[in-house]
Amino acid sequence: MHRATRRVIWIMAAIMPIIAMGQGSESYQFLNITPSAHVYALGGQNISLVSNDIGLVNQNPALLGQEMSNKLSLNYMRYLGGSNIMGANYGIKAGTHGTVGIGLQYFGFGNMKGADENGTLTGDFGVHDIGISAIYSHDITDRLRGGIALKMITSNYEQYSALAISTDLGVNYFDPEHELSLSVAVKNLGGQIKKFDNTSDKLPWDIQLGWSQYIKDSPIRLSLTAYNLPRWKSPYYKTSNEPGEAPEYYTPKFVSNLFRHIVIGAEYAPSEKLFIGIGYNYKTRSDMSTYARNILSGFSIGAGFNVKAVGVSVALAQPHTGATTFMFNLSLNIAEFINR
């Protein structure tokens, strides 16, 4: 067995006992929304896609590589309830084996109406979060890469504000001969250094495992991502079969609970210039059982292409009948524009 392969297996085995120790958190969930249309097309979670798209580094800092030097990615997403997400990522080489990236993400949740304790309207106010990230990756061997991302998150909700610091850690193993990619990522480690109102909110830290591989002698790549592992029990509200009864708080059985931690993706990707992908997220589908989900709930689809120095990708999903989400990415190879 290749030495790098043994290292990845050892790392995976070492973190598994930690999985059962995690505690849930309901705050800062916007950090789990990917800004990558490629990832969103494949179900919204993927830490093992190896590509020259720098937009992938928000999923796993170990995906940042020197092939992304002087690459700029811009993203926009029309999310649920009129929310808007937008941002940018940029990468540059750092020595022979390192790469540095910077990123900015804006999460805007629209305007809301303010009111005092008597119900008197006090005017509209905006709600938004901003995340700024600095990323470094290093090629440990020709197949193994590690990465770290430091993130500062500022939140402004009416007159309340908060500041949090978090870290993502990742390792990726890529075997080009077998077109196999394996990843481990620990995400959103950290906490608040300024609270909203003397109330401490936890970050949604997570441990994720990822696998991506092309089917032999074909342009089809499959991906499996295991996520939300520190919170193994994953209950949700389930629609009652009796008319007029409130939904019940349901704890799924083992198999159903297992699939609520797995995202499946498949894509036609004959080269770096084109992909057409589809994903399935069972957790999204089951979470939406109370909210008029449709046959498309849990599924996502998208496509992307590159022409010379410009790349475009889009993704679409409809978690339930009242919400359609759309994501758009534009990538630019700045070096090619400069050298023209």
Residue 134: the pLDDT is: 97
Which three-class secondary structure string do you get for the chain?
CCHHHHHHHHHHHHHHHHHCCCCCCCCCHHHHCCCCHHHHHCCCCCCCCCCCCHHHHHCCHHHCCHHHCCEEEEEEEECHHHCEEEEEEEEEEECCCEEEEEEEEEEEEEEEEEECCCCCEEEEEEEEEEEEEEEEEEECCCCEEEEEEEEEEEEEECCEEEEEEEEEEEEEEEECCCCEEEEEEEEEEEEEEECCCCCCCCCCCEEEEEEEEECCCCCEEEEEEECCCCCCCCCEEECCCCCCCCCEEECCCHHHHHHCCEEEEEEEEEECCEEEEEEEEHHHHHHHHHCCCCCCCCEEEEEEEEECCEEEEEEEEEEECCEEEEEEEEEEEHHHHHCC
| 115 has a pLDDT exceeding 50 | yes
Q: What pLDDT band is residue 279 in, cutting at 50, 70 and 90?
A: very high
Type of residue found at 188:
N
- Considering only 123-137, 232-246, 302-316, which range has the smallest mean pLDDT? 232-246
Q: Cβ of 10: how many Cβ atoms within 10 Å?
A: 10
Cα dist from 335 to 54, 58, 65, 72, 310, whole Å: 14, 22, 15, 10, 11
- Considering only 25-39, 96-110, 154-168, 212-226, which range has the smallest mean pLDDT? 25-39
Model pTM? 0.85
Predicted confidence (pLDDT) per residue in 310-326, tens digit: 999 999 998 776 678 99
Whole-number Å distance between alpha carbons of 49 and 42: 10
| 59 has a pLDDT exceeding 80 | yes
Residue 83: the pLDDT is: 85
Residue 325 and residue 78 in contact, taking contact as beta carbons nearer than 8 Å: yes
Whole-number Å distance between alpha carbons of 148 and 320: 35
Predicted confidence (pLDDT) per residue in 120-141, tens digit: 777 777 788 999 999 999 999 9
- Considering only 107-116, 183-192, 308-317, which range has the smallest mean pLDDT? 107-116
